[in-house]
Each structure stands twice: as C-alpha cells, then as structure tokens.
A and B are shown apart, each in its own frame.
Chain A
Amino acid sequence: MASLTLRNVRKRYEAAEVIHGVDLDIEDGEFVVFVGPSGCGKSTLLRMIAGLEEISDGSVSIGETEVNEVAASKRGVAMVFQTYALYPHMTVYKNMAFGLKQAKTPADEIDRRVRAAADILQITDYLDRSPRHLSGGQRQRVAIGRAIVRDPKVFLFDEPLSNLDAALRVQTRLEIARLHERLKTTMIYVTHDQVEAMTLADKIVVLRDGVIEQVGSPIALYEKPQNAFVAQFIGSPKMNFFAASDLSKKAAKVLKTDLTDDMQIGLRPEHMQVCKAADAVVTGTLELVENLGEVALVHLITDTGASFIAKTEKPPKEAKGEAISFTIAPELAHYFDKDSGQRLEG
C-alpha cells in the first residue's frame, strides 16, 4: 500500500508533447479514476506510472521513492489490461503463478497465494483450464487475479471493462468496487466512461489533451464543474448550454443573476422542470421524445436555434412542434465564461 505523487510529469514523442506537466497526489488506499475522451493521454499517464512508457520530464513517486528509473517489475505495481493479456499457452493457475515464479517465490507460497486470490475472485474451478476456454468475464477475473497475487502497492486498470458486454460490465464494476473495499489498496483506473468513473471513484481526474481539467470527488465534479468541458463530460445526458439570448426575458429574474452575453448558462437535463409559459427560463419546440420508461428524454429546440434535452418523469402531452416551457431552481444553474469556459462564481 502506498501513496502516489506526480510532479510536473511530461511525455514527449520526438517533437510532440502529449502530456503537458501533470501534478497529482493520490493518497494511500484511494480509488482514483482517470477519465477523458480518447486521445486525452489518460492511458499514457497510466503506462508511465506502470513503467511501460518512459517519463520524459518530471517525477513519479510511489510512497517516498521516486520510480522514474525503477524497472516496471520493481515498482510494486500490477496492471490489468484492456485485452486481458493473459498468457494463452498457460493454464489459469500458471498465468497467476507466472510473476511469482519469475520472482523465485517458493512453490508452497505460490500455491497459497494463487489459491487465495482464486478464492476471492471465485475462479477456483477454472484453475486448470486454459484462457481460451473461458468467457470474457472469466478472463477478466483471471487478469485481476494475476494482479492480486503479486500483492502490489498500486493496482492499475487500463479500461478493464470495455471488452465486456453491457450486463457483465455492470457486474464486474461492482466486483471491482467490492475488491477495493476488501483489499483497501491504492487503485488507479482508466476509463472513457463517465458512469464507471462516477460509480467507482473516490477521486476523479478529468483529462483533456494531456492536461488535468479538474480533480475531485464525483459529487464535487457533478455539482461544481470547474469549466464547461468537465460540466459536459460528467453527467448523462450532457449538460445543456445556452447563451443569454436563448433564454426567456424573465430568466434573469428567476435565476436571480445578471445574464450577460459573454456568459454560457449550463442547465442539467435532470434539473429542468416543466412550467407555465409565464414562468419560463427557457422555452423550446418539441422535436423528439425518447421514452425510457422510468424517465423520458425530451429533445427540444429554442426559437434562437439552440437544441437542448430535458429529462422528465413522464413523456410530455404536447405533440411534436408544440412549445414547452422549463424552469430550474436558481442554485442548480451553472455559469461559465463564453471564451475561456471557466466557471463563473456568482
């Protein structure tokens, strides 16, 4: 178990810099999720921590030790890969024992640790099978088991669920959460899926183009996104953005704010409530309704051409082409600078 410190970490491939100076503190036992769109550098950052990519600049420390020059196998980290990367010619048991064997661990110790890990993951029945004969979910467990056996200080997960089908993904997500509960080891988890990030993380790190956009607890990111990018990335469906001109004349009064033209107003679909036309913050023409049963996603467009989504409990009675008005509690509205995208407090 160990904390992790990143200081001004950079990654360059020849001329191109892909990670532009990342500073991050991860506490002992924390579950940290790196999230961001593809190509944001989250996997590269993880691989730099693992020792699979060289660190061009800055320092990575695990515990008190700087590990920049430490070989991957000596860093005390274990990684679960997206493609599982199981050794195809070895049985499940041998897959899990391989690392310990390379470290010249005594055979009875290997056996004890492999069986303990298999027990935790409920794969004891498959120990003699080859990975080829396992389902995707079982392979994923073996990959996790291979990591557990090494008793690492830090677990690294590189999009571990993206090769699983939807139902299995939810189940495995729960299992990973339970595993963290049980082992209390520091875990770093990379994903592009904000739902995984929200449900698993103690702390989310949102990355874009090799820069950290915001670090915080899931709820902090949801309630107080530091900029428009984070605001849109966290939450599903995405937060709606409006210019002041898209809103109704009464909006400033309802929201109790002065609305200016260099401002973006962010309203989350789930916070919007249907109201009378007279009280409207924003009014839109109904375009499409996606009825999910428990809720309905209502797609609308304002007179000024801004499209937005509202999440309502029941599908609206209005027909396509008719207008619906929405209001929102003033404390649930977000304001961002139009040019920089930074949050405006007020």
Chain B
Amino acid sequence: MNNRTIARLLQTPAVLLLLVWMLVPLGLTLYFSFLRYVLNSLRKPEWTVPQLSNWRGFGNYEYVLYKSKDFWFAIQNSLLIVGSILVITVVLGLAIAILVNRSFPGRGIVRVLLISPFFVMPAVNAVLWINMILDPVLGLNGLAIEGLNHLVAGLKDFPILGHFFALWPELEPISFRATQTSAYAVIMMVAWQWTPFAVLIFMTSLQSEDQQQKEAALLDGASAWAQFVYLTIPHLARPIAIVVMIQSIFHLSLYAEIEIVSRGNGNKNLPYLIGEFTSNNIGAASATGIFAVILANIVAIFLLRMVGKNLVD
C-alpha cells in the first residue's frame, strides 16, 4: 500500500460522513417534493404519511410556481436583500478599514468595538434594532423625528425665516414593520452586523500591502486617490471576492431577522417561504427547497467564477 492509498483510506470515514450528511437530507427533500405529504388532513388522512402511493409527480412544483402567490416575490426579495447587504458592507467595510488602518491613540479599543456587532446573535440583533432603534415611537427613529419636529416648530417663531419653516410639513417617523419597509429594516440590521466582518478581512489585507509600492507611486506623482484606485483596490480584489462569497452564502438563508421584524409581512425570502409551507404542506416546502438549492447553485457558480479567477491570478 503506498502513501496515497493510506491517505485516501484515512480520509474515507470523514468523507463518507459528510456525504451521508449531505445526501440523505437532499435525497429525502427530493423524494418528498414529488409526494402529496401534509402534516394534518382530516379529509385525506393517508396524505399525512410519506409513501409512494401519494406520488404527485411535478404537482408540487407546479403549485409552488403558479398557484402560490409568494414564490416569485420571495426570489426577488432574496436577491434584493443579499445584493443590498453586499453593496453596503463592502463599501462601508472598505471605508472603515482604511480609516482605522492608520495609527491613532486608542486604536486597539476602537478595533475591538468595531468588531463587536459581529458577536451579537442574529435574533438579538433583530430585536434590538426593531425595538430600540427603528421603532417609530419608542426607538431612536421616533425620538429623532420628534426632536426634529420640535426644532422646526421652534424655528417657526423666528422673524422672517419663520415663514419659511412654517411651510414645512410635520415629519412622520417611518414604521419599519410595515409591508413596504420591512425588507429595508432587515437590510439595515444585517448590514450593521456584517460590516465588521468586511472590516476585519479588509484591515488584515491592508496591512499586508507593500509600502514600497506606495512610495514608488508617490515618486511617480500619484495622489492618495490614485494610489487607492490603482494599488489598494487591485490589492483588495481577492478579499473583496471572499467577503462577497461568504456573505452571499449566509444571507441567502436569512431567517431570524425576517421573522422578528414582520413575520414575513411584505418581506419573504426563500427560506422563510419554506418555513411557512412547513407548517403544513411538506411537499410544497420540499419543492421550494429544491428551488432554493438551484438558486444557491446559480449564485455559487457566478461567485466561484469570480473568486476562482481572483485566486488563480
């Protein structure tokens, strides 16, 4: 037996375990997605048992695609949430990383504080944001709007300028639990939580930037902006790709924030839709799950191409 065979043999249990871990759920999901399978049915009690006699073919898929009103909305919303969070975290993360990359007193503490949102549990994060910050009455949102209205009301008494302020309407705080806004609340809180992750990755990468290249650029007459565009951004291409990839994987499966902000009111993504189906219709939930797998794979192919290109270079 040569070394290679031994190595393979030693790897086998781990690989097998991973395969079983992945294939059994996937296989069962696939199986259920072709069955009439519900948790509770008084009319058709035989549907509550997963068995081949309940075979429905592509019926569950048809139902999800054409009859349930939320499917396309959930896909759209999944992409909106993931895309927005990615843009916000990468831009903000880059800006903050560059800001704290210079030395100033208290840098260590600032860095720890910057990272800390990342250690808050997602559900806790959502509760904090929706109740203490975004709440239109009790949260900072409400307090700030109230303060602004007070300020404008006070300015109305000013001579001459007061007429101008008198024209201002009273501001209304935005309710982030509403149908139209709940997705934005989720985007905000998740971006807040994940920006530190981007900062962390970008910061370490900035520290490995070659200083002599920057000095050469300085002698070449490059402004700070030109150095940023021509040296720093290309240097950060790989970490940016990694941040985008990891975050895409995580944010496609957001759940807790959506549940806590609006219980899916006006804001569903695929995992949330699956959750809703699971309350009774396992067949439809499984079919949606298969669609989620397909969506994740499409995203993954794009990402791997992007990152892969970066890693090969």
Contacts and interface: CB of A to CB of B under 8 A. Distances in A.
B222 A85 contact: no
Contact of B218 (A73, A82, A88, A146): A73
B12 interface: no
B219 A87 contact: no
A88 B232 CA distance: 11
B219 A77 contact: yes
A81 B235 CA distance: 19
Interface stretch (B99-107, B207-215, B273-281): B207-215
A85 to B, nearest CB: 4
A22 to B, nearest CB: 21
A72 B218 contact: yes
A81 B220 CA distance: 13
B219 A79 contact: yes
A98 B219 contact: no
Interface string B222-247: 11001000110011010000000000
A98 to B, nearest CB: 5
B218 A52 contact: yes
A103 B221 CA distance: 7
Contacts of A103: 221
B24 interface: no
B226 to A, nearest CB: 6
Contact of A89 (B216, B218, B235): B235
Most buried by B among A79, A81, A87: A87
B230 A85 contact: no
Q: Which of B215, B220, B235 has the most CB of A within 10 A?
A: B220
A102 interface: yes
B212 A98 contact: no
A52 B217 CA distance: 11
A83 interface: yes
A21 interface: no
B183 to A, nearest CB: 37
Given A90-B230, A98-B230, A102-B226, A85 B212 contact: yes
Contacts of B235: 88-89
Interface in A115-138: none
B212 A83 contact: yes
A72 B214 CA distance: 12
Contacts of A139: none
Contacts, number: 63
Given A83-B212, A87-B231, A99 B218 contact: no
Contact of B219 (A51, A88, A89, A90): A51
Contacts of A86: 213, 216
A137 to B, nearest CB: 18
A190 interface: no
Contacts of A73: 218-222
Interface string B103-143: 00000000000000000000000000000000000000000
A247 interface: no
A78 interface: yes
A87 B213 contact: yes
A51 B230 CA distance: 21
A50 interface: yes
Contacts of B213: 85-88
Contacts of B223: 102
Secondary structure type dominating chain B contacts = helix
The size class of the interface chain B forms with chain A is 10 to 19
A83 B217 CA distance: 14
A208 interface: no
Contacts of B212: 81-83, 85
A102 B220 contact: yes
Interface in A90-124: 90, 98-99, 102-103
A296 B35 CA distance: 92
Contacts of B220: 73, 98-99, 102, 146, 150
Nearest to B215: A52
A306 to B, nearest CB: 44
A241 B50 CA distance: 98
Contacts of B210: 83, 85
Given A87-B231, A89-B234, A72 B222 contact: no
Given A85-B213, A87-B231, A50 B219 contact: yes
A150 B216 CA distance: 12
Contact of A81 (B216, B234, B237): B216
Nearest to B220: A99
A296 to B, nearest CB: 42
A139 to B, nearest CB: 13
B217 A87 contact: yes
Contact of A98 (B215, B217, B234, B237): B217
A79 B235 CA distance: 22
Nearest to A103: B221
Contact of A85 (B215, B226, B234): B215
Nearest to B226: A102
B216 A79 contact: yes
Nearest to A156: B219
B99 to A, nearest CB: 23
18 contacts: A51-B218, A72-B218, A73-B220, A73-B221, A73-B222, A77-B219, A79-B219, A81-B212, A81-B216, A83-B212, A85-B213, A87-B216, A87-B231, A89-B230, A89-B231, A89-B234, A99-B222, A146-B216
Interface of B: 210, 212-213, 215-223, 226, 230-231, 234-235, 237
Give 7 closest A-B pairs by Cβ, nearest first.
Answer: A73-B221, A99-B220, A89-B234, A85-B212, A85-B216, A102-B221, A85-B213
